[in-house]
């Protein structure tokens, strides 16, 4: 018997605003619930159970039907995010979609490994630096890399707010030298309602870019959240 997926929102097509697939059109499936509480989480409405009344349980076939409606039945990229999508039974959805020609990317922090990671086309693992207030269990993180295996494109994406976060990213790069590395300028959440602090984001982006250039850190790819530059903190963008 298949189990329902806890859904926060399904939206798009928009563009992937972050990491290895930046700029690519995609539909987002945002699952509800997370095992972390990052101090600067930009999607608390998918994490905090205070928002649980807005979440819904949906069977994989029905999620797929919504994706097909949004994409007007044109096979395209689907991005699974959250919350932590690894908490949800997503293997069946990935299989259903791939049979129809859709490809699947996923964003997760690397705290819960699942067999079905190996079905994904792209997996972004985003371990959390010190500024998040969360400590990384690198052994669980390694389990996620291994669960995805060699057929899935895996990349590391680390949010950077400060010097300690930068050092953490250097450590992560040392631990997983085989993985492409993206450094994402942090977006300080001012409050849920307000526009994004774009000046602050750009200042952090310039600081990060200058550091990487000065250190001649060839492997690092520095990026902003493109959707934040385009649409601010607007939900479902
Ligand atoms: C909202 S999370 C959901 C997926 C998963 N829980 C995770 O953290 O990877 C999606 C991406 O947004 C990043 N992110 C969250 N809040 C952010 C912020 N304030 N500034 C920059 N990136 C942020 C996360 O690090 C992650 O890479
Ligand atoms: N456009 C856009 N790109 C994104 N990349 C990662 C996102 C996420 O919240 O996981 C996200 C998002 O919410 N919107
Ligand atoms: S792991 Fe991701 S969704 Fe969960 S609290 Fe952190 S940034 Fe938010
Ligand atoms: Mg987001």
pLDDT tens for each residue of 195-207: 899 999 999 999 9
Asked whether the beta carbons of 148 and 154 are under 8 A apart, the reply is yes
Domain membership of residue 152 (yes or no) is yes
Domain membership of residue 236 (yes or no) is no
The ligand whose atoms approach the alpha carbon of 86 most closely is 1
ipTM exceeding 0.95? yes
Atom of ligand 2 nearest to the CA of 26: 1
Domain membership of residue 93 (yes or no) is yes
- Give the domain range for residue 17: 5-231
Instruction: Identify the DSSP state of 71.
Output: T
Pocket test for ligand 2, best of 9, 12, 15, 17 (most atoms within 8 A of CB): 17
What's the pLDDT tens digit per position in 63-96?
Answer: 999 999 999 999 999 999 999 999 999 999 999 9
What's the pLDDT score for residue 62? 98
Taking CB atoms and a 6 Å cutoff, what residues make up the pocket around ligand 1? 34, 40-43, 81-82, 84, 107-109, 126, 157, 159, 184, 186-187, 189, 225
Domain membership of residue 64 (yes or no) is yes
Domain membership of residue 237 (yes or no) is no
**What gap in Å lies between CA 24 and CA 18, rounded to an integer?**
10
User: Per the structure, how many domains does the chain have?
Assistant: 1
The ligand whose atoms approach the alpha carbon of 46 most closely is 3
Asked whether the beta carbons of 82 and 30 are under 8 A apart, the reply is yes
Residue nearest to atom 6 of ligand 3 (CA): 38
Is the CB of 36 within 6 Å of ligand 3?
yes
Domain membership of residue 182 (yes or no) is yes
The domain that holds 150 is classified in CATH as: 3.20.20.70
Residue nearest to atom 5 of ligand 1 (CA): 108
pTM tops 0.90, yes or no = yes
Nearest residue to 152 via CA among 114, 96, 183: 114
Domain membership of residue 146 (yes or no) is yes
Domain membership of residue 194 (yes or no) is yes
């Amino acid at each position: 018997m298949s189990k329902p997926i806890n859904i926060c929102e399904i939206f798009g097509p928009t563009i992937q605003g972050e990491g290895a697939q930046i700029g690519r059109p995609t539909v987002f499936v945002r699952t509800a619930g997370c095992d972390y509480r990052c101090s600067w989480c930009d999607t608390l409405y998918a994490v905090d159970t205070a928002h649980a009344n807005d979440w819904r349980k949906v069977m994989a076939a029905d999620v797929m039907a919504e994706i097909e409606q949004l994409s007007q039945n044109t096979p395209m990229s689907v991005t699974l995010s959250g919350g932590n999508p690894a908490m949800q039974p997503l293997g069946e959805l990935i299989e259903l979609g791939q049979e129809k020609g859709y490809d699947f990317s996923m964003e997760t922090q690397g705290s819960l490994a699942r067999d079905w990671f190996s079905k994904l086309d792209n997996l972004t693992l985003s371990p959390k630096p010190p500024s998040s207030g969360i400590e990384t269990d690198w052994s669980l993180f390694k389990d996620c890399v291994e669960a995805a295996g060699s057929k899935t494109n895996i990349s590391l994406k680390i949010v950077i707010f400060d010097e300690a976060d930068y050092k953490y990213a250097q450590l992560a790069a040392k631990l997983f030298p085989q993985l492409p590395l993206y450094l994402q300028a942090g977006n300080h959440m001012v409050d849920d309602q307000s526009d994004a602090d774009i000046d602050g984001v750009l200042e952090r982006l310039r600081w990060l870019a200058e550091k990487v250039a000065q250190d001649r850190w060839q492997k690092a790819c520095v990026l902003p959240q493109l959707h934040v530059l385009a649409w601010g903190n607007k939900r479902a963008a």
